Amino acid sequence: MKYFPVFIDAEHTNCLIVGAGEVAARKLELVLKTPAKITVVAPWVSDTVAKLSRLENVTLHEREFVEDDLNGKTLVFVATDKQSINQHIHDMAHSKGILVNVVDNTPLCKFITPSIVDRSPIIIAMSSGGVAPVLLRYIRQKLETVLPHKISLLGDFSERFRDKVKTALSSVTDRRYFWEDVLDGDIGENVLQGQQTKAELQLDIALQKYQNGDKPAGQVYLVGAGPGDPDLLTFRALRLMQKADVVVYDRLVSPDILELVRRDAEKIYVGKAKSNHTIPQEEINELLAKLALEGNRVVRLKGGDPFIFGRGGEEIQTLIEHGVDFQVVPGITAATGAASYAGIPLTHRDHAQSVTFTTGHLRDNSIDLNWRALAQPSQTLVFYMGLTGLPIICRELIAHGLAPSTEIALVENATRANQKVLTGTLENILKNSLTKDIKPPTLIIVGGVVSLHKQLNWFTAQEA
């Protein structure tokens, strides 16, 4: 972030606006939404500024700017039409350590004013760093339509009972759970509907229950993070990621997806790579149970789908043994993500009437699979974790009946910006010098559908 977002206590802010045209008027109108004391200095005053200057917290000086105008100021907006004056005031303010904004001149801004969605006391401020104002306006319009106007009532309600809840519940985690239950449930709904008295009674009852220890137990959510593109997360996955106290994640979860996890959640890496298991699976199972039994909301974040080569079933069995409640949130598995983003339909009337997902994971330098069942015409094969065993896969499929000319695709980092796709045949893919540059995570797709890649490939990515 080039600009660090902060909210300033406007009640103790003295703001100076130099200039009094329509541009300055827009800044004046914005600051007037706060209790800040405002001074406007300009030799000429527009009708809008003249009208607004009659308000109690605005002082207008109809004259040229002088250096003493900066005394005691904490924020300065400069909105004159003379570049030399703008530069001069910027330099003086900066030398005094005062935050200064020269309107429509980003290089001369020590702070910038964000685009604001105002549901006071709930304020959403957004910025593009001055580089994409139209996009920012578009986002703001979207948010305005999504956020209910009465959400301000929830803000007022939370403020009114904040100290009472803080006194009753000493644990930060307990308070967060309590407020989530309040805002997500009937109490929050009654506040939005204007049923304040009813909501207050319900809150008192709920708070008493929490104090008596009658609060939700820890829980584990097995969440499929999909193949890598954060836009492919489900709404439910994102909601639970934002509620988690602890996130246990694996190697296939992309950094972009991790960015969407709640900021203050504890993050525990348990990823596995070839011949390098950070934590054995049995210990991961026990870790999930332990964290939940301590009262945490635990998200087990897995690349792809938890139930497709994700060992989600093993983890659930351990949770059941320990009496831990759990939920499973499906994700887009790597096979469908890789195929879709590579323009390779897994089934097609002219090429494949079935699809088989299997693992190409090496064990004792071999892959123990039913090769005869796999080497069938008119089906698509998808191998997970098969890159190291690629020579064995090609050899065995040919040996058990597939034509050497059967097409094959290697899809690296599926759905991500750095996705690579390399195609060939069972007999020549290993001879391609580019094959050695393909790295995990990579999906292997075998079958006639691969021939459609060049025609149907829609995703702008790297061709290996």
> How confident is the model over 279-313, as pLDDT tens digits?
899 999 999 999 999 988 899 999 999 999 999 99
Q: So what's the pLDDT on residue 49?
A: 96
**d(C-alpha 343, C-alpha 357), whole Å:** 18
Quick check: helix, strand or coil at residue 223? strand
Quick check: helix, strand or coil at residue 424? strand
Q: Which of 110, 267, 272, 290 is catalytic?
A: 272
Q: Which of 250, 302, 305, 420 is catalytic?
A: 250
**d(C-alpha 317, C-alpha 323), whole Å:** 10
Q: So what's the pLDDT on residue 357?
A: 97
Range(s) for CATH 3.40.50.720 in the chain? Answer: 10-113
Query: Which CATH number does the domain 151-211 belong to among 1.10.8, 3.40.50, 1.10.287, 2.30.30?
Result: 1.10.8
Q: Which numeric CATH code is attached to 335-463? A: 3.30.950.10
Instruction: Give the model's confidence band at 462: pLDDT under 50 very low, under 70 low, under 90 confident, else very high.
Output: low
Homologous superfamily, domain 219-332: Tetrapyrrole methylase, N-terminal domain (3.40.1010.10)
Task: State yes or no: is 437 an active-site residue.
Answer: no
With a CB cutoff of 8 Å and minimum separation 6, the contacts of 364 are none
Rounded (5°) CA angle 289-273-269: 40
The tally of CA atoms less than 13 A away on the side-chain side of residue 455 is: 5
> How confident is the model over 154-186, as pLDDT tens digits?
999 999 999 999 999 998 888 988 998 898 878
- The model carries a pTM of 0.72
Q: So what's the pLDDT on residue 309?
A: 92
Range(s) for CATH 3.40.1010.10 in the chain? Answer: 219-332
Token couple for 325: 């409640």
State the DSSP string of 75-119.
EEEE--S-HHHHHHHHHHHHHTT-EEEETT-GGGBSS-PPEEEEE
Range(s) for CATH 1.10.8 in the chain? Answer: 151-211
Task: State yes or no: is 250 an active-site residue.
Answer: yes
- Percent of the chain at pLDDT > 70 equals 98
> How confident is the model over 375-434, as pLDDT tens digits?
999 999 999 999 999 999 999 999 999 999 999 999 999 999 999 999 999 999 999 999
Q: Which numeric CATH code is attached to 10-113? A: 3.40.50.720
